[in-house]
Amino acid sequence: MVDYFHIPLSEDKQGRWYLELTYAGAALKNNWSLSDVGISFCSTLKCFVKKEDKPTLYVFNAVTQETMAIKENMSILDRKVSDLRMLVTLSCGFPVSVYCLRTPAGLEMYDCNTLKDYQTDIGTTLRLDVWDGWKEFLMGCLLGQKPKVQRYLSKEGPVLKYQKRVALYIAAFHGHTELTEWALKQGAQPHEAVGVHPCRAWCHEALHTDVSNCPIHAAAEAGQLLILKAFVNFSVLCLECKNAAGQSPLAIASKHQHKDCVLYLLSKIWSTVSFLKLSVPMRIYIKIKQWILRAQTRRCHKSQPSRARVSGAKVGDTVMVDGFTKPKMTSKSWYKAEDKSWHTAQSKLPPCKQQPSRKPIGSLPMSQHDTKKQIFTFPSLVDAKNFSEVQSYQQENQKKIAAPARKEKNIKNPYLPQVPLPPVSRVHYAHPQFYCTPPSGDCLLRSLFKSFSEHSGRTPRENAIYCLAVARVNTATSCS
């Protein structure tokens, strides 16, 4: 067919020209058989030359692991990154403040620069990265899974409020009624701007203009009629809520050609609010309500000046400076993110107080390498030359105790065996058990006799006589 009619076909980076045959209103494919379709002799086929435009850019979404095609004119390459991010938001439904775009080399693209500044060409695949630890949270918002969204919420107050606004925005864009109802109960307002992450609140002058968009604008862009009805029933201020471009929800719905949404918004705007003796047009009623809310806000600020709302960052807040601080938009999972320190702090047990190791009396130290060799050590004994010295020393001690001038409660006897006792333990748990196997009776006696002989320098017989003599002297002294 191409050769017979000499139809020029071409293909380049922008698109391709191709030939399409139709029969009975249906397009014929190349692998179809004419007899199977029912085409007979003298049938008339229509031939069309069509143009298929290729996507100008591709954007890989790190949250959904899908690639989005940006089918826009080539003039988008001469525009700024902020314009491209507006198109990405319309494709995925993410607010512009929760993600950033990166080049194939991993370089972050800032809104003030053009796409050509980053050497972006037709067919380039860019990457969409979100805040660290937000991957599971945003996936729950996209799927409308309320339990998953609740699980991955932040424990920080400002970040938590920001996440609730983000959840309401995404739920409004994708039409998740259950998640929308939950976010409204949590305090998120449909006519309140999503805003930015608290660590970017200080640089409000360089932010994207679409950070002032509200969930009602997302519902109007996506044509979610049920969400629009829920928002208007929640607050009629949504009807006159303007975006960064000064467009109301009605203008946004008409721009995207959502007929049902346009008819509903028109019927609400041109309705009247009836009171007991008065009926007010909806536009007038909205202006009166806005005036009352502004007056209440000013009165609250005057009565409580210390609690007045302060815009931007405050002392002690964490801020992020583009190009200087460590990037926090790398799409790390919640389990690998650094901002999960609150979770580890709660699950971590306090350190145990280590008590100084004390050896109880009669402990038998055992070698760690050789468990069979057991060494028994006892305190050394002080030698006494004769029993008279012991008796005279005890008499002197008795005189010191009886003297009224000096009252000493504890008198140490250097001639008697000195065994240091450990301090009284006030801990209510038992001392560690001994894990060594006690020796037999014969071995223990031999070890005891050997130890006495080594430390006293006397034979076991002499040592026994010495001990009996000392005991006899102590008994006689106590009886006298």
Query: Above pLDDT 90, what percent of the chain?
Result: 34
Residue type (1 letter), 273:
V
Residue type (1 letter), 107:
L
Question: Which residue reads 């306090």 in tokens?
Answer: 350
Which band of pLDDT confidence, cut at 50, 70 and 90, is reported for residue 218? very high
Select, from the ranges 60-64, 154-158, 202-206, the one with the highest average predicted confidence (pLDDT): 60-64
| Mean pLDDT of all residues in 238-247 | 91
3-state helix/strand/coil string of 403-470? CCCCCCCCCCCCCCCCCCCCCCCCCCCCCCCCCCCCCCHHHHHHHHHHHHHHHHCCCHHHHHHHHHHH
Q: Cα–Cα distance between 461 and 347 in angstroms, integer?
A: 65
Q: Answer left, alpha or beta for residue 370, where phi above 0 means left and psi between -120 and 50 means alpha.
A: beta
> What was the pLDDT predicted at 36?
77
Positions of E strands within 208-296: 272-274, 279-281
Give the angle subtended at the CA of 396 by the CAs of 392 and 402, to the nearest 5°: 145
> What was the pLDDT predicted at 384?
44
pLDDT digits (tens, 9 = 90+) for 81-125: 999 999 999 999 999 999 999 999 999 999 889 999 998 988 899
> What was the pLDDT predicted at 341?
43
Residues 200 and 320 sit within 8 Å (Cβ to Cβ): yes
> What was the pLDDT predicted at 63?
93
Does residue 428 have a pLDDT over 60?
no
Does residue 362 have a pLDDT over 60?
no
Angle of helix 157-174 relative to helix 177-185, nearest 10 degrees, comes to 150
281 DSSP β-pair partners = 272
Does residue 366 have a pLDDT over 60?
no
Which band of pLDDT confidence, cut at 50, 70 and 90, is reported for residue 189? very high
> What was the pLDDT predicted at 353?
56
At a CB cut-off of 8 Å and minimum separation 6, what does 5 contact? Answer: 47
| Mean pLDDT of all residues in 223-234 | 94
124 DSSP β-pair partners = 57
Q: Where are the alpha helices (DSSP H) in 79-145?
A: 81-92, 135-143
Structural domains present in the chain: 2-53 (no CATH), 131-299+313-344 (1.25.40.20), 387-421+428-479 (no CATH)
Nearest to 364 by CA among 444, 260, 246: 444
> What was the pLDDT predicted at 25?
79
| Mean pLDDT of all residues in 227-255 | 93
Give CB contacts under 8 A, 24+ apart, made by 323-328: 327/108, 328/131, 328/132, 328/199
> What was the pLDDT predicted at 399?
60
| Mean pLDDT of all residues in 157-173 | 94
Radius of gyration of the CA atoms of the chain, in A: 44
Lowest pLDDT segment from 61-75, 153-167, 210-224, 375-389 = 375-389
Higher pLDDT, 271 or 10: 271
Does residue 250 have a pLDDT over 90?
yes
Higher pLDDT, 396 or 284: 284
Select, from the ranges 38-42, 277-281, 298-302, 322-326, the one with the highest average predicted confidence (pLDDT): 277-281
Could you give the 3-state DSSP secondary structure of residue 49? strand
- Containing 393, the helix (H) or strand (E) segment is helix 387-402
Does residue 396 have a pLDDT over 90?
no
Q: Answer left, alpha or beta for residue 293, where phi above 0 means left and psi between -120 and 50 means alpha.
A: alpha
| Mean pLDDT of all residues in 136-163 | 93
| Mean pLDDT of all residues in 194-207 | 81
100 DSSP β-pair partners = 129
Does residue 234 have a pLDDT over 80?
yes
> What was the pLDDT predicted at 409?
45
- What DSSP character marks residue 191? T
pLDDT digits (tens, 9 = 90+) for 441-479: 555 556 666 666 666 677 778 877 888 888 877 776 666
Which band of pLDDT confidence, cut at 50, 70 and 90, is reported for residue 307? very low
At a CB cut-off of 8 Å and minimum separation 6, what does 387 contact? Answer: 469, 470, 473
Residue type (1 letter), 195:
G
Mean per-residue pLDDT over the chain, rounded: 77
Q: What length is written for the chain?
A: 480
Q: Cα–Cα distance between 59 and 88 in angstroms, integer?
A: 8
Q: Where are the alpha helices (DSSP H) in 29-145?
A: 34-37, 81-92, 135-143
Does residue 276 have a pLDDT over 70?
yes
What is the separation, in whole angstroms, between the first and last Cα of the chain? Answer: 140
Which band of pLDDT confidence, cut at 50, 70 and 90, is reported for residue 214? very high
Which band of pLDDT confidence, cut at 50, 70 and 90, is reported for residue 390? low
Residue 417 to residues 211, 420, 445: CA-CA distances in angstroms? 85, 10, 20
Could you give the 3-state DSSP secondary structure of residue 125? strand
Positions of E strands within 313-356: none
> What was the pLDDT predicted at 476?
67
Could you give the 3-state DSSP secondary structure of residue 170? helix
Q: Cα–Cα distance between 89 and 244 in angstroms, integer?
A: 15
